[in-house]
Structures are given as C-alpha cells and as structure tokens.
Amino acid sequence: MLFAALGLSGALLAGCGDDADDKASSESQTSSSSQQSESTPAQGENGSTSQSSSSDTASAEQAQPVNLIFGTGGTGGSYYPIGGALKSVFEASDLVDNVQVVSTGASVQNINNITDGLNQIAIVMSDVAYDAIKGQNQFDGNPADIKALAGMYPNVVQVVATADSGIHSIADLKGKRVGVGKVGSGVEQSASKVLESAGLSYDDLAQVSHTGYADSVTGMSNGNIDAAFFTSGVPNSSITGLMQSTDITFVPVSGDVASKLLEKYPYYENYEIPAGAPERYDLGSAVDTVAIRNVMIVGSDMRNDVAEDLTKRFHDYLESGNVSVGALKQFDPASMNQNLVVPLHPGAEAYYATLAENGDAAKSQSDSDAMAGEATSSDASASDDGQSKAEDKAPQS
C-alpha cells in the first residue's frame, strides 16, 4: 500500500510538471510573438511599410549635402576668378558641403572631366559644348551627356600682335609665330576656326605655340611669339598686363573672315571692343571681332534640387550688385536661359519656370496697381467735375 501511494503521488506530480512546461512554453511563444510584433511594423497588402522605409532611406540620402569640384580654366583667364567668386556663393547652400575650384585646360578638358566624374560643374564655351553633345570633332563618336545651368557672358576672340610684327589682319598671320592656346582648349578651337575662315591652317604658320595666356604673354614679351589668340571676356587680365610692358595691336576678325565664320558656325556672333572705354583696354579705335557665349554646365546625373539651388544662387548673385568679376557684368541675368546650345538641366529649368511665374505675378500686380491708380484718378476727376458743376449752379454772392 505504501508503494502504491508513493506511485500515485509521483504520477500526480509528473502531470503538474507537464502542465507547467506547456504553460511556460505557451507564455514564452506569446511573449516572443508579441515582441516580434512590436519590433516589426505591420505591412499592408502591397508591402507598403517596406516601400516607405526604402523611400525614407532614399530621401535621407538625397538630403545629404554634396561636394563639388568646379572646373575652370587657366589662372590668367576669366574662368578661374569666376570659380573663386562663386565658391562662397554655392557653399552658402545647405545642399552643398564644399566647392573645390581647380585650374584646368578649360572647355574640352572640363567636359571630359565631367564625363569621367572628375568635375561636377564647369564653365565651357558654346562651340566646344556644341561639338560635345553632337559627338563630333574632338568628341567624335563620344557624345557628352551634359546639361546647362545657365548661359553666361560672351567669350570674345581677341587676337593681339606685337606692334613691330607687321600683323594687321588675320591673313597677315601667315608665316608668323602664333600662340593658339593649350591643346584641346576652347581658345585653340576658336583659333583653328578663325584661321580656317581666312583660308589658313597651322601649316601656313611659321610656328604654332600651344601656349596658355600666361605663356603667350611671356613669349610675346620676349620676342619669341609674334601674335596670340586670347578667347575670353573683355578685358583679359593677361592682355592688360602685356600692354604695360609691350606695344601691341589688336587684330580684327571682320569682313569676309567673320562672315564665313558666322555662316558655318552659327554659335558665333559679331562683337565690338569699344574705343575710349577705360575698363576695356581704353583703345584709341574700336576693334571688330567675334564672340562665343560661355555656358555653366553640370553632369546630367546632378540631383535636381542641387541644380535648381545652384541656378538660383547664381542668378541672385548676379542681381545682388556684389559681382566682383568684370566678365560677369557683361550680360543680362534675364538671358541666362536663352539661346543655349546645351539642353537645360531639369533642376535649372524648374527654377527658370518659377522665376517666370514670379515675374508674371509681379507684372500682373504692377498692372493691377496701375489700373487701380487710374481708377482712383478717374474717380477723383469725376468728383472734381461734380463739385465744379455744383459750384456753377450755386447762387453767386
């Protein structure tokens, strides 16, 4: 009986143990399920939570400020100081962390650098940009995927020669030593086209020097170069410096040479360097030449918000009255999106659309104010007429 009682007691205890384990296991599973439910957001039928999380991550990445390498040109031209002036303008944006301004071989190199991802923004000449998007000449078979933020000032083809060289026309460059700009630069592109329009080529020159502005000035000062091409804004600081030490003459690009150039290359336009303008060399007589517009470009992969903000800040800077580089004072900010050979970046296009809407709204308000003023004037006139008629009818004392 004792053994039987002990056996029955053990069975009862074993049964209670199984119930406790099952209960603990059930509570554990419930707790685990509850924790998993709390840690994992509920998803909709289409996985909306996952998409929302992915979207938030993309938005966070897009909000990150960017670093920009700004491709310019030689230190003696206008591109480099413009980059320096715009560095602080662009860095004031919450979307931009840092802007590094670099001196380059100018237009062709700048476009290649953007294509290769080495630069994110640059200034180039329209003729080189035109060739790049068409995939022709130096970009043969390799069209560049670039976009414009803004059109800028005209790049003026300035050909100068030493006074004792006997050079007074483009035709006179035959048999002379000529600086044509760095290889692949926009200056060299202009030089070859101008020479071509005059029926000349490099083979017709006694010496072809692929020199930048500074080296061309040095060569002319030392008597090693007879003439040189400077395609930039007016004035070009290198030419201004050369005039301090060397007697020079400006060679016109006019007549048949200019006509042939404009006919074949429609992105050229006529330009006159005025006489008696201290800020433009203070020449004794005007010089007729040609010019090509400059364009600020970026890669097509630049974020829309960044492109829009850069365009806005550039426009606001031009309108601020604080422009420090003379070349940027030589064009109307209202023309920034006009007559461009490079397609506008969608971000820049959005800014110009907003600018136009604000302009239309301001004009509408101005017209409304003017109409209100006319109506007030008309009411006042009517009141005066009524008062005058009442006075006419009043008995005279």
d(CA 299, CA 145): 7
Number of H helices, E strands in the chain: 11, 10
Global pTM reads 0.63
Q: Write out the DSSP string of 74-87.
A: -TTSSHHHHHHHHH
Is 156 domain-assigned? yes
Q: What is the CATH number of the domain that holds 120?
A: 3.40.190.10
**Both tokens assigned to 76:** 């003696």
d(CA 185, CA 30): 73
Reported as a single tens digit per residue, the pLDDT across 226-250 is: 999 998 888 899 999 999 999 999 9
| Amino acid residing at 298 | V
d(CA 17, CA 22): 9
Is 175 domain-assigned? yes
What's the farthest any 2 CA atoms get from each other in the chain? 148
Residue 143 structural domain: 66-354
Is 396 domain-assigned? no
Is 322 domain-assigned? yes
In the chain, the number of structural domains is 1
Is 375 domain-assigned? no
Is 390 domain-assigned? no
Question: Phi first, then psi: what are they for 152, rounded to 5°?
Answer: -130, -150
Reported as a single tens digit per residue, the pLDDT across 161-204 is: 999 999 999 999 999 999 999 997 879 989 999 999 999 999 99
Reported as a single tens digit per residue, the pLDDT across 317-369 is: 999 999 999 889 888 999 999 989 899 999 999 999 999 998 766 655 665 66
Residue 129's H or E segment, with its range, is helix 126-134
Report the sign of the C-alpha dihedral through residues 222, 225, 226, 230, in that order.
negative
d(CA 78, CA 303): 27
> Residues 155, 246: contact at Cβ < 8 Å?
no
> Residues 319, 289: contact at Cβ < 8 Å?
no
Is 5 domain-assigned? no
Is 31 domain-assigned? no
